[in-house]
Structure 1
Amino acid sequence: MKWTIGYKITGLIFILISIFVILSIITYKSTLQLMDSYSSISHSNELINEIEKLRSTMYYAETGKRGYVITAFDHYLTPFNEAANKIDKHIENIRNYIQENKTQIQRLNALKPLLTEKMNEHIKAIELRNTTSYEASKEYLIMVNKRNVMDKINVILNEMSAEAKNKLSIEEKNNEAAVESTKLLFYIRLFISTLSLVIAFIYIKYTISNQLIKITELVGKISVGELPKSVESSNRQDEIGDLYRAFAQMNQYIRETSDMLEEISKGNINIKLKAMSDKDVLRLTFSRMVAYLHKVVKALDEVAKQNLRYKIDPESKEDILGHTLIAMVEKLNIIINRLKEGSQVLSKSATEIMSVTSQVAAAATETSGSVRETIVTIEEVKQTAQLSTQKAKNVSDTAKRASEVSLLGAKSVDDSISGMGEIKKQMETIAESIMKLSEQSLAIGDITSAVNDLAEQSNLLSVNASIEAAKAGELGRGFAVVAQEVKALAEQSKQATTQIRTILNDVQKATAKAVLTAEQGGKAVELGMKQVLQSGESIKTLSESISEAAQVSNQIAASSQQQLIGVDQVVIAIQNINQATNQNVTATKQVEVSAGELNRLGLLLKEIVDEFRV
Structure 2
Amino acid sequence: MTNLNQGQRTLKLNRVTQIGFSAVLATMVGVGIISKLSMGSLVDALNWVSHTYEVEAELRALEKVLLDAETGERGFLFTNKEEFLEPYNSSIKELKAHFSKLEILIRDNPEQLKRLDRIEDLAQQKMDNLAQTIALKKAGKEQILRELVVSGTGKQIMDQIRVRLDEMIDVEDELLNKRKEDASRTEQLTTLVSLGGTALAILLGILCLLFIARKVIRPINQVANIIASSSSEIAAMTTQQESIAAQQASSVHQATATMDKLGASSKQSAEQAEVAATGARQVAELAETGTRAVEYTLEDMAILREKVLAIAEQILCLSEQTNQIRSISGLVSDLANQTNMLALNAAVEAVRAGEHGKGFAVVASEIRKLADQSKKSAGKINILVAEIQGAINSTMMVTNEGTKTVEQGVKTAEGTAETFMNVANAISSVVMSSQQISLTAKQQAIAVQQVVDAMNTLNQGATETACGISQTKTGTLKLNEAALNLQAVV
State the TM-score, normalized to the length of structure 1: 0.35
The higher-RCO structure (CA 8 Å, 6+ apart) is 2
State the TM-score, normalized to the length of structure 2: 0.44
